[in-house]
Chain A
């Protein structure tokens, strides 16, 4: 992306004779092979295909020591429970564990054949795109501006970040009061434009409320990371850029944005998972725990069926479907998008 105009000249390649400690990552030749197995291998070794360190340590044991704590936590607290969730998805079971019927794929069938479920899936996709785009865009805009100004910069930063600290139940309560169909100020705002905002009754009015509150909650998160990304851009680079590119927009596009790409890629994936998974408390508050025919996301449905309705099998099947879909999405992003991300 920035190969020619990159801020730093790329260091000369290290050669094989650099000792036992450090070796090159071998060039991958798999891409030329055509067998299914090879393509599969190429796929799961995606990490190696991506731009990575040209120099790495080559020790058999040390990396395991570093990765072991995380691995242990993940295995015990993620994979163990997840395996149980997958098992449950093939049963319809009494929540207290007294009876259960093996139903094979029925839970999956029930979920995907319901038109309600498909509508929810469509809304989730729409919601995901809108919230991610808005919160990333606004977060970036504010971070760039906050990075630029000198006077009052600390005040802006503190104010913008501190919003993230407001307790979720209270944030939800405030969102609810802002959009209240009887006394909410935002209802009055819409009334000025001749629109009667009826959150909780009208599908798209509720969607507006959900999107606004979700974006509001997420902007500070993106702001923090974009800002820390911007502030790690070395001053000499900025000064060089200032000379190279006169127009602020071109400077931003050609110099700053590529340097932010690793952060942006991280935030893109995090924001998608945020909208998919972490917005259900907002939905719960706005629909006052009665979704009726208001829009909801797939995770809210899992929460509704599993946690509120105690349908363990059905909700497990829905979580497994979600996991597979999001896993596929993430892999795709790593495979296709990360190639365009240039690391240092």
Chain B
């Protein structure tokens, strides 16, 4: 269709370089010794400590109980990521649907009630949030880990933007076919939103996956350890009493990238599908 100039590739390659060189350096640095990283900084070439590092990170049984393995941390992070992303998509699609496709009393007030939650991140209201969770008896539960994070309007806002740009003819056509609000939502809007769902899933999965402070505050049980806590714990060394195991932190970070990247690759197919479907 359009002409592709070499310049386009150049821009993309520069962008990839700017964004990805640090990631490559993380990967390379994970194969070096911590003292070398401490003294020389990041590496662009592989070292010879890679196998040992990755073996240790994957098999080491850490924590007091000895149950904190790489696998358990991975699983907890996955639960956080998937739970948060799915919860967010379901809640926010429904809410956005109500706000865009219905005319009802108090809609404006509801709109602003939901949208003000864009304004204050959890970190700022973290102390009172803890008290609320404790009152509800949700400390040390996955529910308590995931649900409070859902109280933000990013997803709702995004789907509102998308629904508003969906052609009105669709609703008119559906109405002629005799479709009610539920049928229209499930049969028309949800399939239409695939591309958007894929984009928001990626973002929200990584958001949940990367949580640190809230799980730290909320849980006292080592069984809830996530990869992020593992990484932070390695890097947290007091006034140079030891050299932190930078290589292990980088290795964990590289491992921690794999599932989100897998999500990206899987959903990439949906990106493409979304495109071809709107061709019809």
Q: Do A and B bind each other?
A: yes
Cα separation A25 to B108 with both chains bound (whole Å)? 13
Stretch of A31-39, A124-132, A191-199, A215-223 lying at the B interface: A215-223
Known: A55-B171, A266-B158, A312-B127. A162 touches B147 (CB 8 A): no
Does the CB pair A157–B268 fall under 8 Å?
yes
Is A48 engaged at the interface, CB distance under 8 Å to the other chain? yes
Chain B residues whose C-beta falls within 8 Å of the C-beta of A169 in the assembled complex: 212, 228, 231-232, 235, 249, 253
Chain B residues whose C-beta falls within 8 Å of the C-beta of A225 in the assembled complex: 158, 199, 203
Does the CB pair B19–A228 fall under 8 Å?
no
Known: A69-B95, A166-B26. A47 touches B108 (CB 8 A): yes
Known: A141-B11, A307-B126. A25 touches B103 (CB 8 A): yes
Does the CB pair B20–A163 fall under 8 Å?
yes
Cα separation A47 to B189 with both chains bound (whole Å)? 21
Does the CB pair B18–A76 fall under 8 Å?
no
Cα separation A270 to B200 with both chains bound (whole Å)? 13
Chain A residues whose C-beta falls within 8 Å of the C-beta of B235 in the assembled complex: 169, 173
Stretch of B45-53, B55-63, B64-72, B149-157 lying at the A interface: B149-157
Cα separation A164 to B1 with both chains bound (whole Å)? 31
Known: A66-B94, A78-B151, A162-B261. A277 touches B124 (CB 8 A): yes
Is A103 engaged at the interface, CB distance under 8 Å to the other chain? no
Does the CB pair A44–B109 fall under 8 Å?
yes
Does the CB pair B162–A73 fall under 8 Å?
no
Is A250 engaged at the interface, CB distance under 8 Å to the other chain? no
Stretch of A104-112, A115-123, A146-154, A200-208 lying at the B interface: A146-154
- Write the nearest CB–CB distance from B121 to chain A, whole angstroms: 4
Residue of A nearest to B185 (CB): A66
Residue of A nearest to B211 (CB): A168
Interface string of A299-316 (1 = CB under 8 A from B): 100110011000010000
Chain B residues whose C-beta falls within 8 Å of the C-beta of A57 in the assembled complex: 101-103, 181
Does the CB pair B261–A67 fall under 8 Å?
no
Does the CB pair A167–B231 fall under 8 Å?
yes
Does the CB pair B110–A67 fall under 8 Å?
yes
Cα separation A184 to B22 with both chains bound (whole Å)? 13
Chain A residues whose C-beta falls within 8 Å of the C-beta of B272 in the assembled complex: 231
* B12, B150, B166: the one within 8 Å of A156 (CB): B12
* A interface residues, Cβ below 8 angstroms from B: 8, 11, 14, 18-19, 21-23, 25, 44-48, 51-60, 62-67, 69-71, 73-74, 76-82, 84-85, 88, 138, 141-142, 145-146, 148-152, 154, 156-171, 173-175, 177-178, 180, 183-185, 216, 219-221, 224-225, 227-228, 231-232, 234-236, 238-239, 242, 248, 259, 262-263, 265-266, 269-270, 273, 277-278, 280, 299, 302-303, 306-307, 312, 319, 322-323, 326-327, 330-331, 334, 343-344
Across the A-B interface, give the 6 residue pairs with the lowest CB-CB distance, nearest first.
A165-B260, A81-B128, A63-B102, A66-B98, A70-B95, A170-B253
Given contact pairs A263-B161, A322-B124, a sample of 16 additional A-B residue pairs in the complex whose CB atoms are under 8 Å apart: A25-B103, A57-B181, A67-B98, A69-B94, A70-B95, A73-B147, A141-B11, A158-B264, A163-B22, A167-B231, A167-B257, A232-B274, A262-B165, A266-B158, A303-B124, A323-B119
